[in-house]
Amino acid sequence: AFIRCIQGEENRFNHLLIQMKGGLTARPKTKKTLAIQHRIDTLYIRYDNVDINANELLNGLSYVVAKNIKSKRK
């Protein structure tokens, strides 16, 4: 499930990149996407500061992704 989610994110990114190269602008970010990005950024900052190890980083990222998927299913 995690791999499929990452693959989906890669596809979304590539689609967005094609749109931007074609002259379209990116959609404005919502409060929800900003909150998710903040969680991800915080995890990477903690990892860079050696506050957490690679396993904890991956666990944290998978939690953010799983939480996002659960909220979409409701």
The one-digit pLDDT tens for each residue of the chain (74 residues) are: 788 889 999 999 999 888 888 887 767 889 988 999 999 999 999 999 999 999 999 999 999 888 766 666 65
How is residue 51 written in tokens?
A: 């506050």
Q: If you search the block for the tokens 């939690």, which residue do you land on?
A: 63
- Number of structural domains in the chain: 1
Three-state SS at 50: coil
Q: Which domain holds residue 59?
A: 2-73
DSSP secondary-structure letter at 62? Answer: H
Structure confidence at residue 1 (pLDDT): 77
How is residue 49 written in tokens?
A: 């500061």
